[in-house]
């Protein structure tokens, strides 16, 4: 009990920690997903481009804040925004708020204390993010919002979002077509505090509710989560074994749904998603998930950085605050042309 | 029916009871069997609402959902029995899933070559990682004197961070492996069935049996109870506390890793957020089953019943179509109610004994 010296104990513990780190880190950056490979950590990766940045006085730092890059969608945003910023001669600080408004607020504080030139933000909630954006504005830092809007205008310089409602109607139309306008279906909703969850659901229903033959027998939130979508789908299938289709509010949930269907040997059930993530696109190509709505995430992130650059230089973006970019439907016909959240011509 | 809360060790034979009032004894029996009674009530209520609830396929499915939490909870029960707590099991499950997923998807890059292991080896590595993290928890607590709550809270963050680092935040999307790499078959533990029962459920049964025998029939098990009942007395009577404590955290870590592998296998994909906040479900199952957070009291069977209550309740609510907000409220109430009942049992027990 008291035989070992504390020094030796520290050694043992440290050794074990080191071994674990090694196992966890090895091979981490060499798989296809890591884009640049220069910085192993995504949550706080910072990279400074050459000092020969575009001229002018003041800060050359753009802070990019998004939800967790666990979801490839946000990862694509980070990568596209950082690449565009670097191209324009800025250094970048990439942070993740994990959908936690408190953490987001602290990260905005970081941006303020680092005297950032601009913030590109995919926010943590339409209402709970207003204060954070206002705080940045008061400190003289312009914010450029992407992907999600906030419930107030005049605080951010730009709010560029994909047209979720338009996208959801596209998804709803394709789902109805695949269902041949009749039969039982279930819907998996996203996190119910996220505006996009309800906008997409409304978009889906604006189409689906017009068909009297289509009957929604279950509607559950799976909080954008893959495992939760899997478990809830399995249970829904128990309650409603004759289900013909499941429409999911995003792609991680669609993948969870499909895993459940595969386990239940019911892959003939129609699944559609929303986002345009590579995993779902490859599933479409294999005949698994049937259709997907692609949000131009990379394009939106680039637009935000371009407008930030213009605003820093001229104090105007030349565009209205609220801008929306249309979504694109992905089906087996065009899935082969999809690359990192964009449909190539 | 043996949801007894045996303080098996070092407890002298209970003083001969002088025929206590029968009503007290019935009450005590009801309280002791409360987890089972709640489970039976749940089944009756949900059966009344939905016909599908008791169908064979739904029972198998719900048991499969239960198995993940039950395996986590069995590991945590060992820790709680010694008077400790393990908050890191959800993160360990995620880390084990990510490390195994990475080994299957992109192999191990070492000295410029890429090595692929067979699925069985990958599973063993995953469990070893969990046991290793558990061992670090145990060393921190015993050798460096960090309180269990803090040590495992720290590990909750560290292990989750390492899981993120493994893939740079991304998902390993396809774990089915290829024949050329010789690493197919990872799906067996999470997807396949044997004799009509999912492999995950068989694994839960095996883990539960081994754990039940270990706690009740081996010297190790008795020492675990002794340590949680009265640590000082246990040490003075010659029990090597350090060794026992490290062992229970290793057991907890290994169980967590197994649960993480089952989740990952079923999904066919590994993502770093796997099993986030599952540690709370596991602790809730143990507490529901009558395990005292002060240590020394509780059984594996009780924990399993607790896991069944939580699982059958949440699946039932989904089946009926209750909104996810109400699901949380109901779950929370059931957990607190369980502890209230445990306190009531203590009081009645004391009264019966005093008579």
A296's CB contacts (< 8 A; 6+ apart) are: A162, A325, A327, A328, A341, A342
Strand arrangement, sheet containing A91-96:
A44-47, A91-96, A61-66, A118-121, A143-146, A158-162, A322-325
pLDDT at A236: 95
What pLDDT does A17 receive?
56
Weakest mean pLDDT among A166-180, B79-93, B111-125: B111-125
Closest CA to A246 of B323, A235, B272, B53: A235
Residue of B nearest to A32 (CA): B106
What the block records as the tokens of B203 is 């694994």
Q: Which of A13, A27, A221 sits opposite B108 (nearest CB)?
A: A27
Is pLDDT above 50 for B160?
yes
pLDDT digits (tens, 9 = 90+) for A108-139: 999 998 899 999 999 988 888 998 999 999 99
pLDDT at B183: 85
Q: Is the pLDDT of residue A95 over 50?
A: yes
Burial of B171 (0-12, 13-18, 19+ CB in 10 A): buried
CB A77 within 8 A of CB A300: yes
Q: Per DSSP, what are the bridge partners of residue A140?
A: none
Span A232-251, average pLDDT: 94
- pLDDT at residue A264 tops 80: yes
Is B109 within 8 Å of B166 (Cβ atoms)? no
Q: Is residue A51 pLDDT above 70, yes or no?
A: no
Facing residue for A238 by CB, picked from B57, B235, B240: B57
Of A9, A23, A69, the CB nearest to B144: A9
Please tell me the predicted confidence (pLDDT) of residue B2: 44
Q: Mean pLDDT score of chain A, rounded to an integer?
A: 85
pLDDT tens-place string over residues A202-225:
999 999 999 999 999 999 999 999
Average pLDDT over residues A158-167: 94
Is the pLDDT reported for residue A323 higher than 50?
A: yes
pLDDT at B219 over 90: yes
Q: Would the CB atoms of B321 and A218 count as touching at under 8 Å?
A: yes
For residues B54 and A58, the model is more confident at B54
Q: What's residue A38's pLDDT?
A: 36
Closest-CA distance of chain A to residue B267, Å: 6
Nearest-Cα distance to chain B for A163, in Å, is 26
The whole-number pLDDT of residue B7 equals: 43
Cβ contact (<8 Å) for A23 and B129?
yes
B187 has pLDDT over 90: no
- The confidence score (pLDDT) of residue A65 equals 95
Whether residues A1 and B235 touch (CB distance < 8 A) is answered with yes
A94 vs A301: CA distance, rounded Å: 13
pLDDT at B11 over 60: no
B100 shares contact with chain A (CB less than 8 Å): no
Q: Does B136 touch chain A (CB under 8 A)?
A: yes
pLDDT reported for residue B31: 78
Scanning chain B, the segments in alpha helix (DSSP H) are 22-32, 34-49, 56-81, 89-105, 119-142, 148-167, 187-191, 199-217, 219-229, 231-236, 241-267, 278-288, 300-320, 324-354
Nearest CA in chain B to A72: B170
What is the structure's pLDDT at A126? 83
Q: Which of A6-20, B143-157, B283-297, B307-321 has the lowest mean pLDDT?
A: A6-20
Residue A253 has pLDDT above 60, yes or no: yes
Q: Among A1-15, A58-72, B160-174, where is mean pLDDT lowest?
A: A1-15
Give the model's confidence band at A185: pLDDT under 50 very low, under 70 low, under 90 confident, else very high.
very high
Least confident range of A134-138, A293-297, B36-40, B219-223: B36-40
Say if the Cβ atoms of A33 and B52 lie within 8 Å.
no
pLDDT digits (tens, 9 = 90+) for B12-37: 444 444 556 777 778 878 777 888 88
High-pLDDT (> 90) share of chain A, %: 69
Instruction: Identify which has the larger pLDDT, B2 or A148.
Output: A148
- pLDDT score, position A234: 94
B47 touches chain A (CB under 8 A): no
pTM: 0.77
Residue A29 has pLDDT above 90, yes or no: no
User: What's the confidence (pLDDT) of residue A39?
Assistant: 35
């Amino acid at each position: 009990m008291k035989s070992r010296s504390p020094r030796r104990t520290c050694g043992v513990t440290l050794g074990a920690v080191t071994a674990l780190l090694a196992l966890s880190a090895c091979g981490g950056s060499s798989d296809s997903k890591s884009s640049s490979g220069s910085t192993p950590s995504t949550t706080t990766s910072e990279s400074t481009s050459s000092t020969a940045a575009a001229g002018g006085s003041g800060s050359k730092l753009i802070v990019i804040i998004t939800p967790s890059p666990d979801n490839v969608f946000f990862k694509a945003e980070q990568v596209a925004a950082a690449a565009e910023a670097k191209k324009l001669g800025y250094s970048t600080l990439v942070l993740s708020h994990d959908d936690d408004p408190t953490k987001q607020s602290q990260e905005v504080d970081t941006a303020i204390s680092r005297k950032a030139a601009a913030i590109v933000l995919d926010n943590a909630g339409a209402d709970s993010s207003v204060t954070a954006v206002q705080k940045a504005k008061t400190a003289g830092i312009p914010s450029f919002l992407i992907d999600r809007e906030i419930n107030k205008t005049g605080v951010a310089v730009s709010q560029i979002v994909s047209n979720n409602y338009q996208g959801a109607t596209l998804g709803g139309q394709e789902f109805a077509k695949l269902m041949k306008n009749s039969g039982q279906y279930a819907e998996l909703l996203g996190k119910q505090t996220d505006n996009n969850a309800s906008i997409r659901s409304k978009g889906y229903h604006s189409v689906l509710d017009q068909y009297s033959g289509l009957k929604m027998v279950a509607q559950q939130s799976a909080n954008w989560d893959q495992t939760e979508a899997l478990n809830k789908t399995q249970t829904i299938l128990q309650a409603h074994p004759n289900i013909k289709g499941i429409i999911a509010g995003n792609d991680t949930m669609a993948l969870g749904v499909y895993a459940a269907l595969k386990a239940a040997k019911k892959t003939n059930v129609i699944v559609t998603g929303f986002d345009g993530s590579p995993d779902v696109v490859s599933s479409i190509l294999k005949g698994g998930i049937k259709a997907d709505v692609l949000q131009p995430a990379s394009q939106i992130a680039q637009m935000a950085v371009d407008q930030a650059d213009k605003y820093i230089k001229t104090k105007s973006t030349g565009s209205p605050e609220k801008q929306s970019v249309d979504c694109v439907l992905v089906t087996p016909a065009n899935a082969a042309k999809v690359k990192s959240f964009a449909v190539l011509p | 029916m043996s949801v007894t809360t045996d303080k098996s060790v070092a407890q002298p034979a209970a003083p001969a009871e002088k025929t206590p009032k029968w009503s007290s004894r019935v009450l005590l029996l009801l309280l002791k069997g409360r987890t089972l009674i709640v489970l039976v009530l749940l089944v009756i209520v949900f059966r009344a609402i939905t016909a599908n609830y008791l169908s064979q396929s739904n029972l198998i499915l719900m048991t499969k959902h239960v198995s993940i939490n039950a395996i986590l909870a069995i590991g945590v029960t060992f820790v709680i029995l010694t008077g400790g707590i393990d908050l890191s099991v959800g993160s360990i499950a995620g880390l084990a899933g990510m490390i195994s997923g990475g080994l299957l998807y992109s192999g191990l890059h070492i000295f410029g070559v890429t090595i692929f292991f067979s699925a069985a080896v990958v599973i063993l590595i995953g469990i070893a990682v969990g046991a290793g993290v558990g061992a670090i928890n145990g060393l921190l607590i015993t050798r460096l004197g960090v309180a269990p709550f803090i040590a495992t809270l720290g590990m909750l963050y560290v292990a989750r961070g390492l899981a993120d680092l493994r893939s740079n935040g991304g998902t390993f999307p396809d774990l089915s492996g290829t024949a050329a790499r010789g690493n197919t078959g990872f799906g067996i533990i999470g997807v396949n069935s044997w004799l009509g029962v999912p492999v995950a459920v068989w694994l839960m049964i095996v883990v539960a049996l081994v754990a039940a025998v270990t706690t009740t029939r081996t010297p190790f098990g008795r020492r675990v109870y002794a340590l949680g009942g009265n640590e000082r007395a246990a040490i003075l009577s010659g029990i090597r506390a350090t060794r026992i404590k490290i062992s229970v955290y290793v057991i907890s870590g290994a169980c967590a890793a197994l649960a993480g592998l089952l989740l990952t296998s079923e999904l066919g994909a590994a993502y770093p957020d796997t099993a986030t906040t599952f540690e709370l479900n596991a602790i809730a199952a143990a507490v529901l089953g009558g395990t005292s957070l002060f240590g020394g009291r509780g059984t594996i069977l009780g924990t399993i019943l607790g896991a069944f209550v939580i699982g059958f309740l949440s699946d039932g609510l989904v089946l009926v179509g209750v909104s996810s907000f109400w699901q949380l409220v109901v779950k929370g109430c059931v957990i607190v109610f369980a502890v209230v009942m445990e306190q009531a049992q203590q009081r009645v027990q004391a009264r019966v004994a005093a008579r």
